[in-house]
Structure 1
Amino acid sequence: MKNDPLLQPYQLKHLTLRNRIITTSHEPAYAEDGMPKKLYRAYHVERAKAGIAMTMTAGSAAISRDSPPVFNNVLAYKDEVVGWMKDLVDECHEHGAAVMIQLTHLGRRTRWDKGDWLPAVSSSHSREPAHRSFPKRIEHWDIERIIKDYADAAERMHAAGLDGIELQAYGHLMDQFWSPLTNTLDSPYGGSLENRLNFTFDVLTAIRKRVGNEFIVGIRYTADEIIPGGITKEDGLSISQQLKNSGMVDFLNVIRGHLETDAGLTDIIPIQGMRNAPHLAFAGEVKSLTGFPTFHAAKIPDVATARHAIASGLIDMVGMTRAHMTDPHIVRKIIEGREDDIRPCVGANYCLDRIYHGGAAFCIHNAATGRETTMPHDIPKASVRKKIVVVGAGPGGLEAARVAGERGHEVVVYEVADKPGGQVRLTAQSERRKEMISIIDWRMAQCERLGVKFHFNTWADRQIITDETPDVVIVATGGLPHTEVLEAGNELVVSTWDIISGDVKPGKNVLVFDDAGDHAGLQAAEVIAKSGARTEVMTPDRAFAPEVMGMNLVPYMRSLQKLDTVFTVTYRLKSVERNGDTLRANIGTDYSELNKIQEYDQIVINHGTIPLDELYFELAPLAVNEGAVEYMDLIAGNPQNIKTNAQGTFQLFRIGDAVSARNTHAAIYDALRIVKDL
């Protein structure tokens, strides 16, 4: 361990960071009333306790009233933030972790109808596609006001005892000044690159006057927008050198790309199926040029990649942000020689996509993240050992088995297939989503360590279960594709599962009717389109694939558009009939009485799943709780104690798609919050 590059301390000005691993600034949207209260604090403290060198909060905290958050960000323009941040900082410091915060003015990257309904402001009238704002072009009095707001916010963070702040300059107001694409101002803030940097240096000067020279101030910025007409690599390297030479900045946190579109954002923060650490070498160029403390994060999901980043001298501090959402105990496990136990980030990006769609950030396969006040990351041992039988070895069933094993119970799992994984194994057949199988592989390794017993190729019936004399039965049998959704012709269609699995070959002229909007619809469409077939994706909704969400949609679109896939919104497939060698589709709409007929040679349905729940209902009369769940206890994270059947011999619960069609995270969360107290 003494020779591990990741575990070496790093001196940043007066601050000694205990190792080289950080979480970079990100906003999980756990704030309450714009304040980092109990849950927000618990999330960062969990990572501090496990040994991370520094946790960087807020991505980003808003410094002005006309920079209203588009999701649940921290409001750094309020004085009350000082007390809440001090509580967070003090507790993280108790565990040896440094704490910083990222401050920003969003500029055009917000909406005028948020917060106080003030106009968005930027260095031009250029509209930001992602948030659809047509901003006001900034005036001199706006600039003076916003510079003061930056200084005020920095002073609040200094008062709260933070170790430093980071200014955000990729896609926000600061680099909107930098980029020729978004700056139409005259001198002194427009024109030459030096003029376009004046706003940044004016902000830094004002901050230094408030907090002095000892307080750490860094900047996270794009050093190459990779877009025609934008900040070039040469510009970025010049900016890097000027930031260093200013004497007002203590570290550089390097980003490459632009984020005003979903596609641009996804290239900055790559998801599964995309290359790991795509901008690491570029960050190394900045460090080599400047010789200045350099941080970087962008799809560095595993210890090996992080170790290479530090050992090779490319950067000084490595950000493993999404990786720490998946497993907050990475550093502890490295120190203890347990790297194989690290829960792997699979790049599903459920975390980021959720916040951009107005929700809190959750990890697709760690349901305790973002729920630290009610859900445990470390599972405690039970006081009494029980016999737990789990039916189904999909993600929910395996999580139930893992958690029960961690509790010290005797665990038996029955699975009808010859391999574990359920729908995750199906989705992982797509090259883009193959990383998803790590959700299963990690749990199988944990179950093996814990002595869980598996029976594959076994259809568990009532007799098999009762012969086990269980104390608890968890039914995680999932579901099967629901294709009985048409007025007529249901026997003529196939499911997306049929296509993805390869059980049914694509036709030549294919309609994918996607009434669920999840990955399966687009995965099937991609298989079909790649076969050379004419492919149409139809949805009754006003937008297709809403459950896939923005950043995950990008790789699908790049592939499907190249393959000339047709996307049809607001139309509903009503019925199908055979017409010789073709299928005649009767197509309507929810908006009017309009009907039209179109012909295809194959029709594929994506309409979620129907629960496989027969076993559950057979077992319910034998259970002490008859399968019932006390929801208020479930929500609060308390044990289940319903006893309505005096003749019952075991508790019975069902989870995941055996209840209703949802997603991987829901199945894993069901399992964790039921089994953690058994």
Structure 2
Amino acid sequence: MTRPTSNDPLLAPFTLGKLPLRNRIVSTSHASMKDDGGMPGARYQAYHEAKARGGLAMTMIGGSAMVSRDSSWGGGQLDMSDDRIVPFLQQLATRIHAQGAAVMTQISHLGRRANAFHGDWRPVIAPSPIRETRSRGFPRQMDRDDIDRVIADYAQAARRARDGGLDGVETLCGGHLIGQFMSPLANRRTDAFGGSLENRGRFGLMVHEAIRKAVGDDMTVGIRLVIDEGTEGGLTAEDGIALAQMFEREGLVDFFDAIYGRMDSDLLLSQDNMPGLFQPDAPYLASVARFRAETTLPLLHAGGIRDTATARHALREGIVDLVGMTRAHLADPHLVQHLLDGTEERIRPCVGASYCLYKKATCIHNAATGNELDIPHEIAPADTPGRVIVVGGGIAGLEAARVSALRGHDVVLLEAAAQLGGQLALAARAPERANLVGILDWRLAELTRLGVELRTNILAEPYDILSKNPDTVFVATGGMPDFDDIEGAEFCHSTWDMLSGTVRPAARVLIHDGTGRAPAPSCALFASKAGSEVIFTTSDGLIGQEMPYQDNTGYRKHFAEQDIRVMADLDLIRVTRNGGTLTARFTHCFSGKAVDIEADQVVIEQGTQPLDGLYHALKGSETFNARLHRLGDAVASRDIHAAIREAYVTAMRT
């Protein structure tokens, strides 16, 4: 076991403005969607308290917390525009401070990113009447009355944060209003707020001057500043440095929170701002280092830093003073406590799946995160430990075995295949999804540590279970590819066949997706890179309808770059063989017309049908008296999180 040392930069204290912090690890502001009508109620408070209890230095609340009534995107933000939030902030601050952590909030005006068709239907305002692709609103150009009103709203929001007992506030540039004034892509004004960089930065300086007057010099104030928009015609790295130096000269802020890129569309947001499936870890550190060399204020950065090794590197190289590990804390809110306990190897890894952005503040492989009022992070020992048998070594079975062992049960896991991991191990064979293996590796390490007996190459029959006289049996036998409704399915392959390497791509490959999930698009990219001509059909209206927008846009981008033909709204009816060629017959979902496509190979993804024979055999046995549970795809075809959550909750109650 490795013990933390005094020279671990992650655990070194730091003072931000006048705010003492116990270490260098922060969870940055994000829209958790845990609010109650814009208020940080019990769910919201419990979510942030779990991270504070886990040892981080500071949790930042209020991703895009609205300072004005015309800054709503339709729900899910904290509402800092009204004094009614103050008592909620006081409750939250008390809970966070009791755990030894600091808490501050982000306050912002969305500008052209707001939704004009929500609440009281106020028009969208912006520096210039330029539409943003992602939000789709048509903004009205702000006049001086609008500018003065919004500046005052920022000041009042900051005052509410102070009255609520918070330790500080930060504003947000990026695609939000302050950043819209700064960016030449969103600001075409010819008055004192447009044209030169100095003019475009004026609104942000005026906002911060008003904030400082409202909260005084003792409260920490920062700005989440775009250091480079990374787009031709946008803010350059030199512009980002110049803007930062303006704020430094005025002495209005205590720190910079450096972000990169734009968020005007799903694609820009996923490839240039919030790194997802197709992005490497910590992709913006080089840009942050360049910015750091030309500025003097303390610096925070949180772009895709998912592991402690990368975080240490950023600190040791002097790139940042504070490291934002926001998504890493969704995976493991006790990350810092593991460092303090010398159990760093037990940190549940963030695998960059972006599930937390799809199902807000829900980690793909931590069932408790965001659900603290209903699902505890801590696993209590069982009142009466017993013997548990888990059948199936996919992700649901592994999680049930892990939780059962932590509860003190004697656990044996039986798996029919030679290796553990099931569909998750298969999914991780796609290069763009390789990080998913971290979900599997972490559980295997935990099961080894806990002494769980893992037995592979065993196709369990009812007598195998009955002979061991268990107290509890979890059947997590998964499913098999669902081809039931397709005539000519014998001529087709599953995505499992291609991802496993059992089947190599042919010259012309037709891949049909009936799920909206990742396996079919992954196969399409694999086949295309292997040199195949690929046609991708889907029953949905677009690729990846059930994916986070980062993944969806990433696949669409790579499909376009590789000239993969996409045909949407098609239901597969049958496949016939004509010599060496296959013909797939589809029906168009809207027109009802028949569509025939020829290919050398047809690959189908339509989810799975449960392999539940063992479950029903045990359930119907007169001699079986143990508690019996069915988990994961042995129940129905779902995703990774659903399988883990079901296993976690069920095993916690057993």
The equivalent residue for 2:561 is 562
Residue identity opposite 1:677 in structure 2: R
Does the CA-based 8 Å contact 2:543-2:555 persist in structure 1? no
CA contact (8 A) 1:273 1:435 kept: no
Q: CA deviation at 1:262?
A: 2.0
Query: Residue 273 of structure 1 contacts residue 431 of structure 1 at CA under 8 Å; is this kept in 2?
Result: no
The answer as to whether partners of 1:539 and 1:571 remain within 8 angstroms in 2 is yes
Where in structure 2 are the equivalents of 1:35-434 lying within 5 Å? 35-267=39-271, 268-354=273-359, 360-434=360-434
Determine the C-alpha separation between the residues in 1 that align with 2:616 and 2:539.
Answer: 34
C-alpha distance in 2, partners of 1:111/1:15? 35
AA at the equivalent of 2:227: A
| Superposition deviation, residue 648 in structure 1 | 5.2
Alpha-carbon distance between aligned partners in 2 of 1:650 and 1:335, rounded to the nearest angstrom: 41
Q: C-alpha separation between the residues in 2 aligned to 1:417 and 1:70?
A: 48
Is the 2:348–2:442 Cα contact (8 Å) retained in structure 1?
yes
Deviation at 1:139, TM superposition (A): 1.9
CA distance in 1, matches of 2:478, 2:584: 30
Deviation by residue 1:510-568 (Cα, 9 ceiling, x = unmatched): 22111111001101111111122211111122222111231012332333222210111
Task: Please say if residues 17 and 255 of structure 2, whose CA atoms lie closer than 8 Å, have aligned partners that are also in contact.
Answer: no
Aligned pair count reads 649
RMSD over equivalenced CA pairs, Å: 1.4
State the Cα deviation string for residues 230-264 of structure 1 (Å, max 9, x = none): 00111001011111111111100001111112222
Correspondence for 1:492: 491
Runs of 4+ in 1 over 4 A off after TM superposition: none
Cα separation, 2, equivalents of 1:538 and 1:600? 12
Aligned equivalent of 2:506: 507
* Alignment check: 8 A CA contact 2:224 2:256 kept: yes
Given that 1:55 and 1:98 are in contact with CA atoms closer than 8 Å, whether structure 2 keeps it comes out as yes
Residue 70 (structure 1) shift? 4.1
C-alpha offsets along residues 286-326 of structure 1, whole Å, 9 cap, x if unaligned? 23212211111111111111111112211110001000000
2:161 alignment partner AA: M
Question: Who is 1:443 aligned against?
Answer: 443
Greater Cα offset, 85-94 or 122-131: 122-131
Corresponding residue for residue 640 of structure 1: none
The Cα of 1:21 is off from its aligned counterpart by: 0.5
Counterpart CA distance in 1 for 2:52 and 2:649 is 24
- The two structures have a TM-score, normalised by structure 1, of 0.94
Q: In structure 1, what residue type is equivalent to 2:531? A: G
Q: Equivalent residue of 1:286, what SS?
A: helix
Specify the alignment match of 1:580 in structure 2. Answer: 579
Letter in 2 for 1:658: A
State the 1:282 CA deviation.
2.1
Gaps of 5+ in 1: 355-359, 624-646
Q: Distance in 2 between matches of 1:611 and 1:450?
A: 29
Distance 2:40 2:624 in 1: 46
Quote how far apart the aligned CAs of 1:361 are.
2.2
Point out the more displaced range, 654-663 or 103-112.
103-112
Q: Distance in 2 between matches of 1:116 and 1:519?
A: 39
> How far off is 1:363 after superposition?
0.3
Moved more, 466-475 or 545-554: 545-554
Q: Secondary structure at the match of 2:130?
A: coil
Residues 228 and 239 in structure 2, CA contact (< 8 A), matched pair in contact too: yes
Taking the aligned partners of 2:448 and 2:220, their CA distance within structure 1 comes to: 46
Q: What is the CA distance between 1:380 and its match in structure 2?
A: 1.5
CA distance in 2: counterparts of 1:43 and 1:470, whole angstroms: 37
Q: What residue identity is the alignment partner of 1:508?
A: A
Per-residue Cα deviation, 1:363-385 (whole angstroms, up to 9, x for no partner) = 00001100111212121112211
What code does the residue aligned with 1:514 have?
A: D
- Which of 645, 654, 659 is the matching residue for 2:635? 659
3-state SS, counterpart of residue 25 of structure 1:
coil
**Stretch of structure 1 that moved more, 255-264 or 408-417:** 255-264
2:644 maps to 1:668:
yes
- Return closer, same or farther for 1:19/1:543 CA change in 2, 3 Å cut-off: same
Q: Is the 8 A contact 1:272 1:346 kept in 2?
A: no
**1:109-140 CA distances to partner (integer Å, 9 max, x unpaired)?**
13221222222111122211112122122222
CA contact (8 A) 1:582 1:599 kept: yes
Tell me, yes or no, if structure 1 residue 2 matches structure 2 residue 6: yes
Q: Give the conservation status (yes or no) of the 8 Å contact 2:390–2:411.
A: yes
Identity over aligned pairs, percent = 43
State the 1:621 CA deviation.
2.6
How much does 1:63 deviate? Answer: 1.0
For 2:226 and 2:627, the matched residues in 1 are separated by 55
CA deviations 1:207-230 (Å, max 9, x no partner) are 122111221110001110000100
Amino acid at match of 2:202: N
TM superposition shift of 1:71: 4.7
Letter in 1 for 2:631: I
User: In the superposition, relative to structure 1, how do residues 381 and 136 fare at CA in structure 2: closer, same or farther (>3 Å)?
Assistant: same
Return the offset for 1:190: 0.8
Q: Distance in 1 between matches of 2:161 and 2:452?
A: 49
Matching residue of 2:32 = 28
- Is the 8 Å Cα contact of residues 413 and 452 (structure 2) preserved in structure 1? yes
Shift of 1:274: 2.6
Match of 1:547 in 2: 546
- Deviation (angstroms), 1:273: 4.9
**CA shift for structure 1 position 608:** 0.5
- SS of the residue corresponding to residue 620 of structure 2 reads helix
Q: Following TM superposition, by how much is the alpha carbon of 1:186 offset from its aligned partner in structure 2, in angstroms?
A: 1.9
8 Å Cα contact 2:365-2:641 kept in structure 1: yes
Letter of the structure 1 residue corresponding to residue 589 of structure 2: D
> Contact conserved, 1:269 with 1:298, CA < 8 A, in 2?
yes
Cα displacement (A) at 1:387: 0.6
The alignment's TM-score, normalised by the length of structure 2, stands at 0.97
Matched residues in 2 for 1:337 and 1:165: separation?
33
